[in-house]
Homo-oligomer: A and B are copies of this chain.
Amino acid sequence: SSATSIDAMAEPSTGFTARDATAPPVPNGRLHRIELRVREVVREVAPGVRQRLWTFNGTSPGPVLRGRIGDAFEVTLINDGTIDHGIDFHAGALAPDRPMRPIDPGQRLTYRFTATKAGIWMYHCSTMPMLHHIGNGMYGAVIIDPPDLPAVEHEYVLVQSELYLGPDSQPGDLAKMQAERPDAVVFNGYASQYAYQPLTADAGERVRIWLLNAGPNRSSAFHVVGAQFDTVYAEGRWQLRPDEPGAAQVLDLAPAAGGFVETVPPEPGNYPFVTHAMVDAERGARGMIQVR
């Protein structure tokens, strides 16, 4: 049987594989055709805890999309779920009325946008109550590279979100979402997954971590233990670059905000990452970077 609360001492089951946090490359071409299929699936979200998530393409977060300024995206949304769902891409500007409308199970719609501005943009289900649809797994990130973004040796994407557990293998509990009582706060959909299976990097090599805070409710204060951020980009602007004398210890992200940080781990070792809102770190918003 499966638990409906998080046991911080439990270990993931044998065969557990953490979500690959590697940032996808910018695909070739200037038109990106993507199919997003809404699927309601039972998934483990913490050791021994299963929930019936509402997802884009079977995972929560949904896939990370990426492109350049000027790229066109043509997204086909297919509702293979049992209730209405829809979609909202922050990465493009358009009248919401038609593309963000909820569609019935079995229906599809095509959502076209051109990405004219850089940043890491949230996408999420657009069906009311959005608190429930985001809170039960329907969110993801679109990265539009700033011009002349330098290549780095290691580049990851982490999406922070909250979990409000319902009964075993059932959807998340809307009442808990309304009461702001999260059972867990997680990166990429699973409590502490990168503590079990760390991200990797190499001493002396630059690491970029893209962050999106999907919420639905809480802020993030992202921090890497042992590291300093000599580069910070958030909500469409550079805030710090390596040639400046200061650095940052925290990237503060409101719900639906995003950005990236960069650091160069100075030596091999294990560098934990957390939101420094410690109650959320203890709830599962923590992981590890294993530096060789």
Seen from chain A, the residues whose Cβ lies within 8 Å of a Cβ on chain B are 69, 88, 90, 93-97, 100, 116-119, 121-122, 126, 129-131, 134-135, 146-147, 177-178, 180, 215-219, 221, 223, 225-230, 232-233, 235-237, 239-240, 244-250, 252-258, 263, 265-272, 276-279, 281-282, 291
Given known pairs A250-B257, A254-B250, A281-B130, the reply for A245 and B118 (CB within 8 Å) is: yes
Give the residues in chain B near A254, CB-CB below 8 Å: 219, 221, 250, 252, 276-277
Give the residues in chain B near A240, CB-CB below 8 Å: 235-237
Given known pairs A100-B225, A228-B117, A239-B237, the reply for A279 and B178 (CB within 8 Å) is: yes
Residue from B121, B226, B246 in contact with A94 in the complex, judged by beta carbons closer than 8 Å? B226
Tell me whether A282 and B131 are in contact (CB under 8 A).
yes
Tell me whether A95 and B247 are in contact (CB under 8 A).
no
Q: How far is the CA of A211 from the CA of B228 in the complex (A)?
A: 18
Tell me whether A215 and B277 are in contact (CB under 8 A).
yes
Closest beta carbon of chain B to A220's beta carbon, Å: 8
Given known pairs A131-B279, A255-B277, the reply for A118 and B236 (CB within 8 Å) is: no
Tell me whether B255 and A221 are in contact (CB under 8 A).
yes
Tell me whether A131 and B281 are in contact (CB under 8 A).
yes
Give the residues in chain B near A215, CB-CB below 8 Å: 276-278
Residue from B95, B119, B255 in contact with A268 in the complex, judged by beta carbons closer than 8 Å? B95
Tell me whether A97 and B255 are in contact (CB under 8 A).
no
Tell me whether B267 and A95 are in contact (CB under 8 A).
yes
